[in-house]
Structure 1
């Protein structure tokens, strides 16, 4: 594979469909016989089309007066970043210096200018070192005349022209020439003629379906670029007889495929359990949908915050999009939402109306509010819109859509989901609420399900049915800081309207703000000492005279540097800092369990590989795709939207399809495993030869490449081997670590249950929050089973202190196939003689391979921690895997751990 393709794909972290597109562009330049420094204008368009069509039969016509190819990528996959990859490749590989990027409207025009400008949040060339010190010159439809002096500067690396085709369309009405074609005194000719005279102009068309037949595009044809690259999610135009597909699509990556591959949210249609519209007026249905949309939104907002706090990720503020019939209807909805009767007036200052009725300053404010809706600082949580928001409104936090205008199911599906598919974290998280886009459609529920289930539908909609309990129950994100932090007066960070502090009723350890400030500064100093095991190897070492003196010096310096203290110097009573620091240190020792940070580093070189083995292939028989039909990959995993043809581009040999699929997995190195990979590929091809003729094998390998690779990869895990020296270097980077905050979703304003009482619904334990503990290091905890609750009862009796650790507390990593997830044990408890890591498990899961893998990792961690503690006078660590059926109130902790 080409060096620049590999480098750009890695630096820009291209997803597979983006990389596939870049590889296709590389192949196109080979077909066009482009060489660096040579003329690239081809006079024989028919010959170029014939050469491309021989390899890519979906390209039957350029549909323009120059070679132009369409890359159809689903919304949310990343077309703008792909533009950046195209430009970087063409410049670095072929010396192309001039690009003309077309936007269909003002919104996308402004967005593209921002994304191509260095040091912006979504800069498309981030990571391309050649552009880091010599960025391309951005020339726009607003400033091209003022930048005339730079046009002929040969020292500029390259120039990217960004123009709004919508503005050009408006200028050519009535047969007029666009401003770009008018003579410029600065250039000596029109800017258009200047561009047309360039020997290496490449035209890039964003959302090309929006202006295929416009007068502006016909004018642009006269630029005669050496190549046109079109990007769109909808490669067709609507004609009087329906959709007319493009004839120049070289890559088609449809929405159904993007959903299957996890690049966008999962759309779900939502209704109420046992809902029936019979007997309900249209107004009543409308209000119910709106209210349930807001209820869904409130749940989603809490679940998003809980996930963010658990995963230590940014908090995402979701919003609701309500689609109104017309401006009058939108205004009435805004008035309803702003009333005190609508959710007790909670949304009166959180709703905006977006439509064409606004002008002047009101329009500017509307656009500003709309563009800011993704920010957590924006108050907007409901957007009322008349016509569906079009391309260019690029947000990731749209989670609930309430369509209130009359439309058939197909239109609702196609127009409702497009703006809400982008993922806030760039990939799926595995948490349904974070990965889902909800469409509230009570009266259209079955119709939408039927439409989405039709053969040829681009998606498979999930179903969410709200129960009466769910629609009436309010939930919140409960942040459970350690008792230590609560006693020191700390508050959870980034609190929102959905956040509840589990420790809000904890009695503070210090009775004045000044004392509390000293204690908090002391705690921050102690946290820094975590990473200095040579100075404070254990928490007990914090009490030594030397360390106490160090803490006092640090606290005094920071305290007196504070502006409030400087103002009050000489007025406030003098504080006994040493006493406060001593008390704070005692709190730390008493309210924490010392958990070291352990890094295990191999002493020598680590080699890993897969041993040769014989594949089990008897169960796979992939069907041969028809060479005459479009075969769709629906969201039911039955195929993909790609044409299969005997004339299509092929790998050099059949085995290359299998090898190319396998090296896409993160744990498969081609250099280390090349012989094995080709052996497995040969086994696979020979298997297909047992029931398929040669020509059909090519088609099966091309069409089912990903599924075949996954099937083989699933068998490779058992044969993974690793060679390293017997001894490891065990590095203790921290002698103890701060207790991480936990976050839970729970019923709003509902008091925690008493941990000593078993709830009536034991099958749904995870929804309950428990409190009332005396020895737990947190005010509240959640349990996954009643066995865990019973174990907590035993710990309250037999342990000195205990807690359920949050993700990231131990950072123990184990291998699970190609993945390396973190192992988070269920409980940690300290007794007079030892510290225990406890894992209660269902009896029938005790010998599960993953459970045993986690156990080995934990036992090794405990051994290393015990050796470290033994050197510094600490307690040994012990790991216990406990079958659930022996956990009973009459059992002691010691007996459970035997």
Structure 2
């Protein structure tokens, strides 16, 4: 069955804990195949023999709980479960329970809308041809479910348990149990009679002991699969853990593995509540929360512009004590005195006091809070928003309810952990959820740091001076775009545009419009390297004539049709001026692709593994039980579904086959050689049985350990390679920076006071830079800019994505952007200043080698088209001084 696991995990892009859950389901169905009327105790004993954490099904049918932290992807896992059970075991009937109306409606969309980005079966080819029939609590009694016309193939029933709960009050039977005129029995009895019904329970902790779920017991499904982030129920004596948890992937592990945001508790520097009233503390927390929100908004926009991603609009959640308190907070935020009234129309109050059209408007705004066009930036809520409200843009929470630290942690972070881009970005502000808790700060930190705590919160201490530094995103476009009056796309209230004081090339609106059209035509000519191999070729008469013709075809002069007469702009003159501007303020950067001719072969050379540090202790039965129950470490796994391999080497080979760059058919001999080395190593200090258990338990970690060493022995060969130039030149991409609007643009010739925090400064005043402003990562970079601005004809610091240069780092090929590009009379330089102790760093060397190859190919292309050669210069930082020249540095450091 493992081929189904591999196929589904690949097609649905399952994360490690999701895949592990699917592997365990595969193993469960192998050791105890799902079927009707199984002996419950016998089935439990079989499962307990391998998964001792399952001590009781707690149902009248076999039921297993998969506890995955919020944000890891429980709904996607449900789709994987259904796909697997259908493809591997031919199961066609599923019953999905939702705890409330919100999740019920969400699940219907997730399972039925194939155009939806979160469609759970996206990539499952069998369902693309024959999509599952979705039967809901609203339409189940309208058709004959047994007819093959409407409900053929896979049938997924989605029901709302809260509605069933309301129907069974007073001992009454739920509506689903009433007679159906279509089938001559109740729909409930029809389901109960199916030989292959599987029950899936979403957020199962919400209704574990409800009357509705007791009624569902009578369906007698062949298997129950429960999903929750909190595998326990609150009893009178505290939390009571589930007894059927087979996978437990807690929040702390999800944070450690980078699947969710990093929650952080926030206070003010030197905060002292002495003498402050509760109202004053509350207002301070609210105002600081808004300041953090405004800062996050800027950082998110800057990141999006830097990486060419969608701009995420964050929002702030305020948790109020009660409805009266919520109304008071709403009035405060909507007042003119609160941040100059900026949030008057950007706040909503969400609670049960709303009715009718007012309630509908509130719900609509709440559900659209992720949409950029929806103005809401502050949500006031009395009780923490419930499960099913899956937003990715919650970045700041201000809890104003009286609660202990544990409650604050549990209630505050649940809804805000999902990541807007699906993964961590490495940018702290984009990856962090802020919880403003000045008066509870130390209490929360202490609670989070308890040994039994699921998480360890980061601490953020705000400096009031820094809080008052209002920031914005400043977009630095090329001088060409600036002088042509081109504006960046998707500007927000936080967007500033550098170079607004630059004199435009054309002052008349109609001429500016023609010039902008001409620039778009020139940009499209990037893709015609045979016709326009370099920027200089834009000046050829036939090329300019083609540009003029294209501009005339696209131009629609204002009011020309209405007035009958209008003075047409001088297209030829405007095009000539635009071409001159582009050639003078751009550097020829070709888009170079190195592609293989013929068949490419790749693999790994035989080598001896270094296994000295790989010394796992023997895995006792007791230790195995403990790890499976708590799942404190992701490396504790059953490997490929926990299947017993015939040879212990097969555990290693099976683990290595999961890597995309390893082909079993081509490299089986090498894989078994490495596996034999590994098995021999473990058998040198363990018995064969102990070695088998270690290889089984730590299969994925051992495979990763070996795979990392394999990268140093990889090879690749092709019949030949050819250099393909897809673009003769590329436009200069805009850069985006976060900066303080209170600080003026710094003079690049003057060393700043705080050299340790260079990233906060925006520099300007350049003479020959192709952008109005730049940022520098170090003072050495600033000094190099001084030299370049003096010695070069033109220069700039490339934005992300400007070059397509990739270097090898293990199995990955990250993109490399050099620090500077400068053009002189004789050459174009790619310059990289580096700290003296990093000059021989393997990653620095890998980047250097990739850049040198690119420069050689670019030089060959330039030489063939009358251009200048490219040179790569890796410069030691302490060699940079104002008395040095660009030519001198080049001679000293060019490779």
What TM-score do you get using the length of structure 2 for normalisation?
Answer: 0.95
Is 388-397 or 673-682 further displaced after alignment? 673-682
CA contact (8 A) 1:116 1:124 kept: yes
In the other structure, the counterpart of 2:111 is: 116
Separation of aligned partners in 2, 1:384 and 1:354: 6
- The secondary structure found in structure 1 opposite 2:527 is coil
How many pairs align?
Answer: 888
* Residue 763 (structure 1) aligned with residue 759 (structure 2): no
Q: 1:299 aligns with which of 289, 295, 298?
A: 295
Using the TM superposition, give the Cα deviation of residue 91 of structure 1 relative to its aligned residue in structure 2, in angstroms. 2.2
Using the TM superposition, give the Cα deviation of residue 183 of structure 1 relative to its aligned residue in structure 2, in angstroms. 1.7
Separation of aligned partners in 2, 1:299 and 1:481: 22
Using the TM superposition, give the Cα deviation of residue 568 of structure 1 relative to its aligned residue in structure 2, in angstroms. 4.6
Is 278-287 or 692-701 further displaced after alignment? 692-701
* Residue 330 (structure 1) aligned with residue 326 (structure 2): yes
Using the TM superposition, give the Cα deviation of residue 186 of structure 1 relative to its aligned residue in structure 2, in angstroms. 3.5
Cα offsets for 1:828-852 (capped at 9, x unmatched): 1111111111111122222222212
Using the TM superposition, give the Cα deviation of residue 357 of structure 1 relative to its aligned residue in structure 2, in angstroms. 1.3
Separation of aligned partners in 2, 1:451 and 1:641: 27
Q: 1:236 aligns with which of 224, 232, 238?
A: 232
* Residue 395 (structure 1) aligned with residue 388 (structure 2): no
- The secondary structure found in structure 2 opposite 1:533 is coil
Using the TM superposition, give the Cα deviation of residue 596 of structure 1 relative to its aligned residue in structure 2, in angstroms. 0.2
Using the TM superposition, give the Cα deviation of residue 643 of structure 1 relative to its aligned residue in structure 2, in angstroms. 10
Q: 1:431 to 1:709 in 2, by over 3 A?
A: farther
Using the TM superposition, give the Cα deviation of residue 648 of structure 1 relative to its aligned residue in structure 2, in angstroms. 8.1
CA contact (8 A) 1:536 1:542 kept: yes
In the other structure, the counterpart of 1:863 is: 856
* Residue 540 (structure 1) aligned with residue 533 (structure 2): no
Using the TM superposition, give the Cα deviation of residue 672 of structure 1 relative to its aligned residue in structure 2, in angstroms. 4.4
Separation of aligned partners in 1, 2:88 and 2:797: 55
Q: 1:633 to 1:366 in 2, by over 3 A?
A: farther
- The secondary structure found in structure 1 opposite 2:240 is strand
CA contact (8 A) 2:247 2:628 kept: no
Separation of aligned partners in 2, 1:597 and 1:643: 45
In the other structure, the counterpart of 2:305 is: 309
- The secondary structure found in structure 2 opposite 1:756 is coil
Separation of aligned partners in 1, 2:472 and 2:33: 61
- The secondary structure found in structure 2 opposite 1:426 is coil
Separation of aligned partners in 2, 1:638 and 1:86: 23
CA contact (8 A) 2:804 2:815 kept: yes
Q: 1:470 to 1:478 in 2, by over 3 A?
A: same
In the other structure, the counterpart of 2:723 is: 730
Separation of aligned partners in 1, 2:731 and 2:697: 52
Cα offsets for 1:410-465 (capped at 9, x unmatched): 11122211111111111111111111111112222222222222222111211222
In the other structure, the counterpart of 2:507 is: 511
- The secondary structure found in structure 2 opposite 1:52 is helix
Cα offsets for 1:504-557 (capped at 9, x unmatched): 222211112211111111111111110111121111111112212221221111
Using the TM superposition, give the Cα deviation of residue 627 of structure 1 relative to its aligned residue in structure 2, in angstroms. 4.5
In the other structure, the counterpart of 1:63 is: 58
Is 176-185 or 105-114 further displaced after alignment? 176-185
Q: 1:733 to 1:565 in 2, by over 3 A?
A: farther
CA contact (8 A) 2:133 2:150 kept: no
In the other structure, the counterpart of 2:18 is: 18
Cα offsets for 1:284-325 (capped at 9, x unmatched): 222222111111111111111111111111111111111111
Using the TM superposition, give the Cα deviation of residue 699 of structure 1 relative to its aligned residue in structure 2, in angstroms. 5.2
What TM-score do you get using the length of structure 1 for normalisation?
Answer: 0.94
In the other structure, the counterpart of 1:52 is: 47
In the other structure, the counterpart of 2:70 is: 75
* Residue 721 (structure 1) aligned with residue 742 (structure 2): no
Separation of aligned partners in 1, 2:334 and 2:561: 44
CA contact (8 A) 1:102 1:164 kept: yes
Separation of aligned partners in 2, 1:446 and 1:700: 42
Using the TM superposition, give the Cα deviation of residue 281 of structure 1 relative to its aligned residue in structure 2, in angstroms. 2.4
CA contact (8 A) 1:460 1:634 kept: no
* Residue 84 (structure 1) aligned with residue 79 (structure 2): yes
Separation of aligned partners in 2, 1:150 and 1:121: 31
In the other structure, the counterpart of 2:348 is: 352
Separation of aligned partners in 1, 2:790 and 2:14: 54
Separation of aligned partners in 1, 2:330 and 2:745: 37
* Residue 6 (structure 1) aligned with residue 25 (structure 2): no
In the TM superposition, what are the counterparts of 1:583-594 in structure 2 within 5 Å? 583-594=577-588
Q: 1:889 aligns with which of 874, 878, 882?
A: 882
CA contact (8 A) 2:819 2:833 kept: yes
Using the TM superposition, give the Cα deviation of residue 589 of structure 1 relative to its aligned residue in structure 2, in angstroms. 0.8
In the other structure, the counterpart of 2:548 is: 552
Superposition RMSD in Å: 2.5
Using the TM superposition, give the Cα deviation of residue 880 of structure 1 relative to its aligned residue in structure 2, in angstroms. 1.0
In the other structure, the counterpart of 1:37 is: none
Q: 1:342 to 1:87 in 2, by over 3 A?
A: same
Q: 1:821 to 1:320 in 2, by over 3 A?
A: same
Is 604-613 or 434-443 further displaced after alignment? 604-613
* Residue 828 (structure 1) aligned with residue 824 (structure 2): no
Using the TM superposition, give the Cα deviation of residue 49 of structure 1 relative to its aligned residue in structure 2, in angstroms. 2.4
In the other structure, the counterpart of 1:814 is: 807
Q: 2:102 aligns with which of 96, 102, 107?
A: 107
Separation of aligned partners in 1, 2:807 and 2:64: 46
Separation of aligned partners in 2, 1:92 and 1:644: 22
CA contact (8 A) 1:634 1:640 kept: no
